[in-house]
Amino acid sequence: MEPSTTKDKDTSMEEDLVYKNNRELFYSFDKDKNCYTRKVDYQYQANQVIIKQGWDVLEDRLEEIKQQVIRGEKSPLVYFMEKNQMEVPMLAGYSGFRKWRVKRHLNPKHFNKLSQDILEKYASALDVPVSQLKEPDFLKEKK
């Protein structure tokens, strides 16, 4: 039986991961060298499960908001805010609008009347094209 190589161990370890989307920087103290060392690695299995559950909840909320936008109950602004994990105060800060105006624009009735300039500010803050903000892909698929 051949001994496994480091590459084999890394590959099998990655296959066991629940959440593979990102790695993190970990610090540890090396007593021999009397200094801190850094290592880029994945979270421990238990933490991965928690992180994955958090992302699953976000995906479920996004799907619900997507359906509300399709039904005309909420504006696409709500969807992109949730996708970027933003709340009204944060979007207000990034876009330069007052919180009450952002809240007003969450309503499709008001959102549909927005000028190109206002849409551009929101699009810039949310890092999406104006065309996507006005009519997200999931609305185009519905038609």
pLDDT tens per residue, range 27-44: 888 888 889 988 887 777
If pLDDT is split at 50, 70 and 90, which confidence band does 77 have? Answer: very high
Q: Is 74 within 8 Å of 58 (Cβ atoms)?
A: no
Query: To the nearest whole number, what is the mean pLDDT of the chain?
Result: 84
Percentage with pLDDT > 70 across the chain: 82
Burial 100-122 (b: 16+ CB within 10 A, else e): eebeebbebeebeebeeeebebb
Q: What is the pLDDT of residue 142?
A: 64
- State mean pLDDT over 106-125: 96
- Residue 11 falls inside a structural domain: no
- Token pair for residue 95? 């876009």
- Token pair for residue 62? 């996004």
Pairwise pLDDT comparison (4 vs 134), residue with the higher score:
134
- Residue 136 falls inside a structural domain: yes
Q: Is 137 within 8 Å of 70 (Cβ atoms)?
A: no
- Residue 58 falls inside a structural domain: yes
Beta-bridged to residue 142, according to DSSP, are none
- Residue 76 falls inside a structural domain: yes
- Residue 60 falls inside a structural domain: yes
Neighbours of 87 (CB within 10 A): 11
CATH code for the domain of 120: 1.10.260.40
Q: How many structural domains comprise the chain?
A: 1
- Residue 84 falls inside a structural domain: yes
Q: What is the pTM of this model?
A: 0.70
Pairwise pLDDT comparison (134 vs 2), residue with the higher score:
134
- State mean pLDDT over 82-102: 96
The one-letter amino acid at 4: S
**Strand residues in the chain grouped as ranges (E):** 24-30, 35-41
138 has a pLDDT exceeding 70: yes
- Residue 26 falls inside a structural domain: no
Task: Give the domain range for residue 130.
Answer: 54-142
- Residue 119 falls inside a structural domain: yes
